[in-house]
Amino acid sequence: MSALLTVSGVSKSYPGVLALDGVNLRLQAGKIHALVGENGAGKSSLIKILTGVIEPDAGDIVLAGKPVRFSRPRESLAAGIAVVHQERNLIPRYSVAENMFLDRLPTRYGVVQRRQMHDGARRWLDVLELDVDPATPVRYLSVAQMQLVEIGRALSLQSKVLLLDEPTASISEHEVERLVGILRRLRDQGTAILFVSHKLEEVISLCDRITVLRDGQNASDAQPLAGMSKDDIVTLMVGREAAVTGLGTRTATPGPCRLELDGVATAAGHVGVNIKVHAGEVVGLYGLVGAGRTELAKALIGVDRVTGGHVRIDGRPVRVRSPLEALRRWRLGYVSEDRKGEGLILAHSVTRNTAITVWHRLRRAGGLIWGGIERAFIRPLIERLDVRTPSLEQAVGNLSGGNQQKVSVAKWLAADTRILIIDEPTVGVDVRTKGYLHRLVWKLADEGTAVLLITSELAEMIQLADRIYVMNGYRVVGEVANSHDYDGMSGTLMQIIQKDNDVRFQPGRAQEERGGQHV
């Protein structure tokens, strides 16, 4: 049977990173095709190419026998490709119906026909058994409801090709079952479906074929799923060598408790968060996208407000009002997950980016900062982190992703923090840099730093953390000692989240009722 959508030899590079390297993908009408891979393997880049968000550097896309090339989302939509992106793409003030039909509002003489639009939306809400009024602004919906609205939008296009990037990440098991039913029906009607998920059980039970990406390349190309086990898929995802070698092990020798959260609530919406991080310990904070981990970190460094409970540093109750205070007074640092947006000033030099946390210490007479003193202070750090840069005066925007990340970490090493929150340290960096950063996290802990590690990458979490807290819906819903056994731990962590979701999303059960409760 010939493919409806064929992608062959597609490559895409960003400065310093090869996101996709000659990737192939073949979707057939009437089949559900799984696309899996670790974070940063290139799944989202591939989807963005198929939907005209980014253009490939090389390679061909053939849709229904005709070569196509999309340079904007409209073109791919018009060609009959519908998508649910991983990130939410809704307009908060707009109604459910408007968000679903934004690009094809029913109009008469240019005037929007609301009733017709609401009727159209209701039809798809009914299919999804989502009981909301089509006129409700989406900002009043829960995360799960928003996700279902996005799915409804994609379904309403009734397109030949349907791409779903992590559609089940934030919805309950019951809603997943309903979605699975709908997808099977669409498949039987001849739609070609691409299903991206981290949940391998879902993939195995739902999909017909699988394409696995690893570091921007095909680890498998439209392989039939029949007979494959979860282990087989994981091996394809991480690669045999990576699964075997790794870092070895580390024995943590926790010292006194550096950071303690006791029933902490925040303005961002956290409730009853209890966390302890000891000196010399790597404590993981695991959760799905949107669980509230980064938001918690931001509250701890004083960007957002802590509204209840106690934060203690070295046993003393503290109130951190700003990142400045966090750094200067408590020596608490935060390596941002968003190195381009928050971690670095891309147009500035390596020196300036690194020294930014210590300028107050480098000041000499009259408050002046001398370049020589600055560079002398920075150079050992840059060398220690093995940042590959032609010179210290190079703008960090010109460095590769991995080296940018090292600079982002370097500035916190310069600050000599006692507590360091590291958020997604290895997103978009190559394998070698990743290993390097992993060793660095352990080294920091060995030297007595209390490390709170946030990462969405399960393998990284299980590799690095001594203990893991599981966060879901802005609460800590479990605490697990890390056995460093991937299969066992991944099952345990997912189970905790799934169990919590099932309780949270049970109809008629207010979320507030169980705020702060531990599983």
Instruction: Dump the DSSP string for 424-482.
Output: STTTT--HHHHHHHHHHHHHHHHTT-EEEEE-S-HHHHHHH-SEEEEEETTEEEEEEE-
For the window 467-496, what string marks contact with another protein as x by the rule CB under 8 A? ------xxx---------------------
Stretch that binds another protein, among 8-16, 141-149, 309-317, 393-401 (CB under 8 A): 141-149
If the CB atoms of residues 74 and 363 are measured against another protein, the closer one turns out to be: 74
Instruction: Dump the DSSP string for 198-220.
Output: S-HHHHHHH-SEEEEEETTEEEE
If the CB atoms of residues 308 and 435 are measured against another protein, the closer one turns out to be: 308
Residue partners of 128: CB distance under 8 A and separation at least 6: 148, 151, 152, 155, 175, 178, 179, 182
Contact between 309 and another protein by CB under 8 A: the answer reads no
Short-list 330, 357, 258, 343, CA closest to 294: 343
Using the rule CB under 8 A, which residue among 67, 110, 227, 367 binds another protein? 110
Q: What is the dihedral of CA 390, 394, 398, 403, to 10 degrees?
A: 70
Using the rule CB under 8 A, which residue among 12, 43, 118, 153 binds another protein? 153
Using the rule CB under 8 A, which residue among 9, 60, 69, 91 binds another protein? 91
Using the rule CB under 8 A, which residue among 19, 146, 234, 237 binds another protein? 146
Let me know if 398 is exposed, middle or buried by CB neighbors in 10 A (0-12, 13-18, 19+).
middle
**Alpha carbons 321 and 305: distance in angstroms, whole number:** 8
Minimum distance, C-beta of residue 310 to another protein, in the bound complex (Å): 19
In 292-334, alpha helices (H)? 293-300, 323-330
For the window 288-307, what string marks contact with another protein as x by the rule CB under 8 A? -------------------x
Contact between 406 and another protein by CB under 8 A: the answer reads no
Minimum distance, C-beta of residue 292 to another protein, in the bound complex (Å): 8
Minimum distance, C-beta of residue 40 to another protein, in the bound complex (Å): 21
Contact between 89 and another protein by CB under 8 A: the answer reads yes
Using the rule CB under 8 A, which residue among 41, 77, 149, 237 binds another protein? 77
State both tokens at 462.
Answer: 């299980």
Neighbouring CB atoms inside 10 A of 182's CB total 15
State both tokens at 8.
Answer: 């062959």
Order of strands across the sheet with 273-278? Answer: 273-278, 257-266, 306-313, 316-318
If the CB atoms of residues 449 and 472 are measured against another protein, the closer one turns out to be: 472
Contact between 85 and another protein by CB under 8 A: the answer reads yes
Contact between 275 and another protein by CB under 8 A: the answer reads no
State both tokens at 170.
Answer: 């934030």
If the CB atoms of residues 73 and 448 are measured against another protein, the closer one turns out to be: 73
Tokens 């891309």 correspond to 346
Task: Tell me the number of residues near another protein by CB under 8 A.
Answer: 44
Using the rule CB under 8 A, which residue among 102, 135, 247, 345 binds another protein? 102
Using the rule CB under 8 A, which residue among 14, 15, 71, 78 binds another protein? 78
Using the rule CB under 8 A, which residue among 30, 59, 73, 448 binds another protein? 73
Beta bridge partners of 452: 283, 421
**Alpha carbons 382 and 376: distance in angstroms, whole number:** 11
Minimum distance, C-beta of residue 414 to another protein, in the bound complex (Å): 34
Cα distances (angstroms) measured from residue 316 to each of 109, 259, 262, 359: 67, 9, 12, 27
If the CB atoms of residues 58 and 102 are measured against another protein, the closer one turns out to be: 102
Q: Tell me which residues touch another protein (CB under 8 A).
A: 51, 53, 72-74, 77-78, 83, 85, 89-94, 98-99, 102-105, 107, 110-112, 138-143, 146, 153, 267-269, 271, 307, 473-475, 511-512, 515
